[in-house]
Amino acid sequence: MQMDDLWVQHPHGRIFARSWTPAGHSGGSPIVMFHDSLGAVSLWRDFPKQLSEATGRRVIAYDRLGFGQSDARVDQPSLNFVVEEASRYFPQIREQLGISHFIALGHSVGGGMAVCCAESTGADCDAVITIGAQAFVEECTRNGIREAQGVYSDPVQFARLARYHGDKTQWVLDAWIESWLHPDFADWSIKDQLPRLRCPTLALHGERDEFGSAVQPQIISQLSGGEPSRMVLLEGLGHVPFREAPEVVLAIIADFLRENRVP
């Protein structure tokens, strides 16, 4: 397994990326990973490496601008930040990292970003995989964020998150909480983008996900214009199934790509 740290130059700052390439790699579309609202490359932990090994594909993960090792942002994201990831940032990442065809995999809000990046690139996206993604704003999502807001007011919990985001930690929390709890964000959804997908779609969701009900993957699988479109509800698992039961998640993803002959 070869691991490489990479940097993308963007007009608003440098974006950090990391890639994993399995031994004997002979091609195939790479998997590009989109992290969650508090995420970073390092918070995927061993999953990208395991995913590369399980699928035999190159895996690329990056820290969105303002997160992890990427440069800080001084502005707060707009309420259109999910779509803007596809229009303002992902094109530079693709160009500078030499990504032509790809598989988009996203966790939580990163799942929405994966859908938007797939929709905006048309036939260049060979598959979409979402894990615990939100397709629209549910009250349980907002309640989960309110509870987390209380958790991260504890200096100990804040310090744990700061291990990954450093001086950017308060910005990361504010970007998450203020966006999702903003009254004008209540109508946000990816329902317009989903029917324009033209590739196989897999929506994984933990049965006990505290940030979204089973309606979320149902919407993703039902509205996706790609074929096939499959939903898997993971029994007994929560919002981060790739940490709770990585072997289960890896097997489902690898089987899905193989069975659908994703290039």
Instruction: Establish if 8 belongs to a structural domain.
Output: yes
Using alpha carbons, select from 251, 193, 189, 260 the residue that is nearest to residue 228: 260
Band of the pLDDT at 40, cuts 50, 70, 90? very high
Contacts of 177 (CB under 8 A, 6+ apart): 145, 148, 149
Would you say residue 26 has pLDDT above 80? no
Asked whether residue 159 is assigned to any structural domain, the reply reads no
pLDDT of residue 174: 95
For residue 206, name the pLDDT band (cuts at 50, 70, 90).
very high
What is the side-by-side order of every strand in the sheet holding 125-131? 2-10, 13-21, 59-62, 31-34, 102-107, 125-131, 201-206, 229-234
The pLDDT tens digits of the residues spanning 223-237 come to 999 999 999 999 999
78 burial (CB, 10 Å; 0-12 / 13-18 / 19+) is: exposed
Residue 167: inside a domain, yes or no? Answer: no
Confidence grade of residue 27 (pLDDT, cut at 50, 70, 90) = confident
**Mean pLDDT on 176-197:** 96
Rounded-to-integer distance, Cα 174 and Cα 98, Å: 33
Residue at 147 is within a domain? no
Share of the chain above pLDDT 70, in %: 100
In a domain, 80, yes or no: yes
The answer to whether position 150 is within a domain reads no
Structure confidence at residue 24 (pLDDT): 82
CA 103-89-239 angle, to 5 degrees, is: 55
Q: What is the pLDDT of residue 98?
A: 96
All residues at 6 or more sequence positions from 117 whose CB lies less than 8 Å from its CB, including other chains: 32, 34, 85, 86, 90, 104, 125
Q: Single out the residue of 178, 180, 175, 179 nearest to residue 161, CA to CA.
A: 175
Please check the confidence at residue 186 and state whether its pLDDT lies above 90: yes
CA-wise closest residue to 217 among 241, 186, 181: 241
What is the number of structural domains in the chain? 1
What residues contact 243, with CB distance under 8 A and at least 6 apart?
Answer: 45, 47
Average pLDDT over residues 157-182: 96
pTM to 2 decimal places: 0.96
- The predicted structure's pLDDT at residue 232: 98
Residue 137, pLDDT score:
97
**121-167 tens-digit pLDDT:** 999 999 999 999 999 999 999 999 999 999 999 999 999 999 999 99
Domain containing residue 63: CATH number: 3.40.50.1820
Whether 231 and 111 have beta carbons less than 8 Å apart is answered as no
pLDDT band at residue 195 under the 50/70/90 scheme = very high
Residue 41's H or E segment, with its range, is: none
Q: By the 8 A CB rule, do 217 and 133 touch?
A: yes
How confident is the prediction for the chain on average, in pLDDT? 96
Is there a domain that residue 97 lies in?
yes
* Portion of the chain with pLDDT greater than 90, in percent: 97
What is the model's pLDDT at position 104?
98
Question: pLDDT of 72-112, one tens digit each?
Answer: 998 989 999 999 999 999 999 999 999 999 999 999 999 99
Domain that holds residue 33: 2-135+189-259
Q: Does 141 fall in a domain? A: no
Strand 13-21 to strand 59-62: parallel, antiparallel, or no bridges (unpaired)?
A: antiparallel
